[in-house]
Chain A
Amino acid sequence: AGGDGGSPVPAAPGRAQVFATVVDTFLEKLVAAGSYQRFANCYRCFYKLQPEMTRSIYDQFISQLQASIKEEIQEVKDEGNLEVLFNSLDKIVEEAKNQEEPAWRPSGIPEEDVRSAMVPYLLKHRSYLRKVLKEKEEENRKVAESVLTGRNRIAELQQLIQARKHAWQ
Chain B
Amino acid sequence: MITGGQRFVASPPAFSQDGKKLLVCTGCTVSIYSVSTGMQITELEGGHTDRVTSVVVVPVGAPSSKFMSYCWTSSLDGTICYWDFASAELIKKVKIQFPVHSMVIPSLSTIGSTEEGSNLYAFLSVEDINKPASEKKALHGQVRIYNLKNQKPVGGLLTETRNPEILYASKNGEFLGISNKRKLHIWRIPANNFRFDEIKKIKLHHTKKLTCLAFHSTLRMVAGGDDTGRILIWYNFGREKFAQNLQNLKGTKNPSDEAKPGVRNNDDVDSCTTWHWHPSEVKFLHFSSDGAYLYSGGNEGVIVVWQIDTGKKKFKPRLGSPLLYFTESPDPSLSCVSCSDNHIHLLKMPTMDISKSISGIKPPFSFPLKHEGSCTQVAFEQTTGLVAVSTEDYCVQFYSLFDNHEVSEVQVCKRNFQPADDVMLYVALVAISLDGSLMATIDVTIPEEKLGGLVCLKYWTRGSLVAEYLLSTVIYEPHSDAQVSSLAFRPGHNMAVTSSYGGDFKVWVHGSHAGRNNESMQRTGWRCQSVGSYKGKPLTAAVFSADGSILAIAAETMITLWDPDSNILVAMIGDTLSPITKLSFVGKSEYLVSYTHSLKPQLSVWSTSNLALYWSHGIVTEAVSCSHDESQFAVLALLSSPGDADAKGNGVIFFFHVEDPVPVATWTVTKAKGGSLAFLPANPSLHESSATNGVNQLLLVFMNGKHEYTIFNPHKEENIISKNSRKSQAAQDEAERLGYTSIYGDLSNSNAKHNHFQEVPFAPSERPWETIFSGSSHALPPLTKLCTSFFESLLEKRLENSNEMIIDADL
A binds B: no
- Chain A residues close to B by CB (< 8 Å): none
